[in-house]
Amino acid sequence: MSQPTTAPATPSALQHAAEQTALNVLIALSVSHLLNDTIQSLLPAIYPVLKDQFRLSFTQVGLITLTFQGTASLLQPLIGFYTDRNPRPFSLATGMGITLTGLVLLAGAGTYPLIIGAAALVGLGSAIFHPEASRVARMASGGRHGFAQSLFQVGGNLGSSLGPLLAALIIVPRGQHAILWFSVLALGGILLLSKVGGWYARNLTRQPARAGPAGAAHEHVTLSRGRVVFAIAILLVLIFSKYFYLVSLSNYYTFYLIDKFHVTVAASQYYLFAFLFAVAAGTIIGGPVGDRIGRKRVIWGSILGVAPFSLVLPHVGLAATVALTVVIGVILASAFSAILVYAQELLPGRVGLIAGLFFGFAFGMGGIGSAVLGRLADHTSIGFVFSVCAWLPLIGLVTGLLPDIEPRRKAAH
C-alpha cells in the first residue's frame, strides 16, 4: 500500500503564504503602534490634572511636551541613519521597555523635574520605535507602500485617540497613580514587538522595497540633488504646518473647551477623543488613495483642504466646534503617510533615515509648537491661540512647488 505524498508547494501558494505573513507583520506593527501611542498620549491627556495638582503655568505644560517631543525629534534621525547601516531587529522591544520605564516614573512623580524626566524617557522610547517600525512596515508592504504606512499609522492614531478616553475613565477620577495600570499595555507591546523582531531578523536579506505594481512607477525617478533637497525642504514646511496646527488641538483643545464653553475636565476629554478618533479614521485614507491617484494630490487635499474649516472654528458654538474638529481630523490625518512615502521615493534605500527625519521633525514641531503656543496663551488667551493657528493650513499652498514624480500614475487616471 503506497504512502500518501505531499504535493510540492506551487509558486503561487508560496507567494500567497509570504504575503499573508507580511500582512500579519503589518497588523502586529499597527497594534504595537496603537499600544505605544496610547501610552504616549496619556501625557498630554492628563495635562489638566497635572496643571491643577502641581500648579503649572501653560508655559510649563508646553515644556513637558517640548521635552518629550524634542527628545524624540533629535534622536529619531540619528537612530534611523544608524539602523540603515546596522539594523537592530530587537530594538523595537527595547524602545517599548524604555517607554514602560517612563510610564512608571510618571505614575509616581511628585515633582515637576520628575515629570520632565518621565517625559524624556517616553520620548526616547518613541525615538527608537518609530524609525525601525516604519522600516519593517516597508519591508512587509509587498510594494503597496502607501497602504503599509497607513496601516502602521492608523494604529498609532487610534492609540492617540484612546489616551484621552482612558484618561477620562481611569486617571481623572483616581488620580496620577492610576497611570501605573497602563504598564500592562507596555508589557503587551514588548511581547508583540519581540515576535516582530524575530521576523525582522529572519528577513534582513529582503530589499527595503519589494517590487510591486504600486511601487514600480517610481523606479525611474531621477532628480538632481538640488531638486531632491528642495523637495524635502518643502515637505518639511508642510510637516511644520500640519503639526503646529495639530498640537494646538491635541494639547490645548481641552483648555479651549473648558475656557470658552465651561465644560468639565472629563467632558473635554471625550471631545478630544472624538477629534483624535477622527484623525485615526482619516489616516487609513491617505496611503491607499496615494497609491492610486498619487501622493502629491493627497498632500494638496489634506493640508490645504483643512483651511476653510480651521478659519471658521474659532467663531462657532460648542456643537459646531466639535463637528468641525472631527472634519478637520479626518482631512488632516491623510497627509503624513503620503508625505513619508513621497519622501522615501525621493531617496530610495534611505528608509530609516527618512522615517527618522520625518517622524523626528514632526515630533520636534509638535514639541516646539506646544511650548510656543503655551507661552502665547499665558500672555494672551487660549482663544487667541486658536484664532492665530487657524491660518496655518494655508501654508499647504507650497505643495504646488513639489516636483511631479508620478507621471505614469497620473497618465493612468
| Phi, psi (rounded to 5 degrees) for 191 | -65, -45
* Half-sphere exposure (Cβ direction) of 283: Cα atoms closer than 13 Å: 25
**In this structure, which amino acid lies at residue 337?**
S
CATH number of 19-205+221-412: 1.20.1250.20
Show the cell assigned to 283. Answer: 489616516
DSSP H or E run through 298: helix 295-303
Q: Is the pTM higher than 0.75?
A: no
Whole-angstrom Cα distance, residue 240 to residue 279? 17
CA torsion, ordered 116, 117, 118, 123, to nearest 10 deg: 90
Along the 413 residues of the chain, how does pLDDT read in single tens digits? 444 444 444 445 445 444 555 888 999 999 999 998 888 888 877 888 888 889 888 889 888 888 887 788 788 888 888 888 888 888 999 999 999 999 999 988 989 999 999 999 998 998 898 888 888 888 888 777 778 888 888 888 788 778 778 888 888 788 888 889 999 999 999 999 999 999 988 887 664 443 343 343 444 457 788 888 999 999 999 999 888 898 888 888 999 999 999 999 888 888 988 998 888 788 777 667 767 777 788 888 888 889 999 999 999 999 999 999 999 998 888 777 788 888 888 887 777 788 888 877 887 787 788 888 988 999 999 999 999 999 999 999 998 899 887 654 443 34
Domain ranges of the chain: 19-205+221-412
